[in-house]
Structure 1
Amino acid sequence: MVNKSLWAALVAVSLTIGLAGCGSTPQDEFANVSTDKLYADAREEASAGNFEAAIKRYEKVEARASGTLMSQQAQLELAYAYYKTNERAQALAKIERFIRLHPTSPAMDYAMYLQGLINFNDDLGIFGRLSKQNMAERDQQASRDAYDAFKQLTERFPTSKYAADARLRMNFIVNTLAEGEVLVARYYYRRGAYLAAVNRAQVAVTEFRNSPAVEEALFIMARSYDQMAMPQLRDDALRVLKTNFPNSTLLSQGYQPVSKPWWQVW
């Protein structure tokens, strides 16, 4: 028979070990590093392109220095580091939180610019990269979000050092949004969905009238109206096309055969 005293001692030792195990926590690798040193190291890692290492340090700085300007700066630099590591969701969450919590920050113009940049360079994915897909051939919501961020920046901070680049990007986005509408209109036209083609082309004409894509949009409208036996509307579209694009090759040559990339199945 087991000695009761010995049994009680063994149970007590086991409980002590178990409680010690439950109370253990992962060791903080930065526990002995000051917040200032940690922030300096994070910036150094980011400057060297080691964004994963920078993220670990910025996260610690943000938590330790909560409520300070250093914490705010760490939030901004975290958003940029996430952006550089293609972690778009985390980058947007971080920058949107900054904008919401610090509306009077002197760095607000940069925050808006970064928000636009993250959406502007939204990752196309592996098939987009392999096919060299352009911005007009993907979901346009990210481009619209980028445009809105850049627009707010240029309106609120017209003299910001980021405003000029934001305006250039806005012009590019407008052209790609218009091209996106025309791509859809072209798709519908070539499949005989003429009313749908007109509707999408009309968006490009009315919303993005200064875009080069308007030329093809008007041509699609004229051809679609012709297919639907609507000569007056066809002639109106042609008249606008000839007035605004008198040298358009579409008027003399129409659509030319386009070789499809390997991934395009329609």
Structure 2
Amino acid sequence: MRLAKIVGTVTLCVLATGCSWFGGDKEIPDIPEQQLYEESISALELEDYQLAVEKLQMLEARYPFGRYSEQAQLELIYAYHKNYEPEAASASADRFIRLHPSHENIDYAYYLKGLTAFEQDRTFFERYLPIDITRRDPGAALDSFESFSTLLNRYPDSQYAPDANKRMVFLKNRLATYEINVARFYMKRGAFVAAANRGRYVVENLQNTPAVPNALAIMYQAYTELGMTDLASSARDVLLANYPDYDLRTYRQENKTLLETATFGLLGSSEEPLPPSRPNTKTTEQKTKIEKKRSWFDRATFGVFE
């Protein structure tokens, strides 16, 4: 009985310490703050962004009030951005802005936040394939535009302001074109109020973009369909005064018959049929003579060598 108690006690001790024997309870050695920061910077320089993220996270967790804590938070935003983690980068930028509103490098946080959203909206296929990105949801583009706009309004003398301004021009044109595509969609389906509102939004908020004349044209046609002659005339006058060579087109679709709709346009179309192709004036006898003149070699090679 006594032997059984001894064996049981030894077994419990072995089970309790088994995890540490097999490395399950491995302790992370204590690394100095400066060493952690230098290792993270070295990883960034070597473009090992995953390792840099791990080092910076460890630095922030172990030394939240150290001398490298604020700089490590900025470096972590950049590491997340380069490691294709846009959500983490945006969250880290928001956290830095909230914790350090008067930091001397807060403009860098706004710039990285806008740059992350800007790159998030450009996938691999959009970079190398002819895909129209103006027809996609502009959620990330809006976030990027707002971040760059805040940067320019609050810190116009920032070293990142020129690049942010150029990117804002691109984003502004894209957002305006997206609104025009939506307005055209509404026009084709008879939603004239929604189309007019989209066009007015472009004219009022996205000026100096190539989409403005299209917006005025949509406003003119939408107001005309709604019977608002004064607004339609005003939009048309502004359009012709600023863009006299603009070619006005209609977005209204002709009413289709029930038979045409049911047969997908094969039957019941009210359009006039196309004129027949030009008839062949050669008679059968002339064709026979031409065929007789062809040699057997010409026929065998389908006329390639003769």
Name the TM-score, length of structure 2 as normaliser.
Answer: 0.72
Q: Which residue of 1 aligns with 2:112?
A: 114
Give the structure 1 partner of residue 146 of structure 2. Answer: 148
Structure 2 residue 24 is the aligned partner of structure 1 residue 20: no
The aligned counterpart of 1:8 is 5
Pair 1:118–1:7, CA change in 2 (3 A): same
Looking at secondary structure, tell me which structure has more helix per residue. 1
Alignment of 1:151-190 (within 5 A): 151-190=149-188
CA distance in 2, matches of 1:166, 1:126: 22
Contact preservation (8 Å) 1:117, 1:146: yes
Verify the 8 A CA contact 2:39 2:55 in the aligned structure 1.
yes
Aligned counterparts of 1:219 and 1:187: Cα–Cα separation in 2: 14
**Secondary structure of the corresponding residue to residue 244 of structure 2:** coil
Question: What is the Cα-based RMSD across aligned positions, in Å?
Answer: 2.6
Q: Give percent identity, aligned residues only.
A: 38
4+ aligned runs moved over 6 Å, structure 1: none
1:20 CA drift (Å): 2.5
| Counterpart mapping for 1:1-266 below 5 A | 4-21=1-18, 24-28=24-28, 31=29, 33-124=31-122, 132-133=130-131, 135-248=133-246, 250-251=247-248
In structure 2, C-alpha distance between the alignment counterparts of 1:134 and 1:114, rounded to whole Å? 25
Cα deviation for residue 128 of structure 1 reads 5.5
Look up the match of 1:261: none
Q: Give me the whole-angstrom Cα distance separating, in 2, the residues matched to 1:25 and 1:106.
A: 42
User: Which SS does the other structure have where 1:60 is aligned?
Assistant: helix
Cα distance in 1, alignment partners of residues 149 and 225 from structure 2 = 39
Report 1 or 2 for greater relative contact order, CA contacts < 8 Å, sequence distance ≥ 6. Answer: 1
The structure that has the greater radius of gyration is 2
Residue 218 of structure 1: how far off its partner (Å)? 1.0
Q: Could you say what secondary structure the match of 2:209 adopts? A: coil
For residue 59 of structure 1, what is the amino acid of its counterpart?
A: Q
Q: 1:92-132 CA deviation, whole Å, 9 max, x = no partner?
A: 11111111111222211111111111222224557756865
1:18 partner letter: L
Length, aligned pairs only: 248
Give the Cα–Cα distance (whole angstroms) in 2 for the partners of residues 40 and 71 of structure 1: 13
For 2:228 and 2:155, the matched residues in 1 are separated by 48
SS at match of 2:177: helix
Unaligned stretches of 5+ in structure 2? 252-306
TM-score (norm 1): 0.81
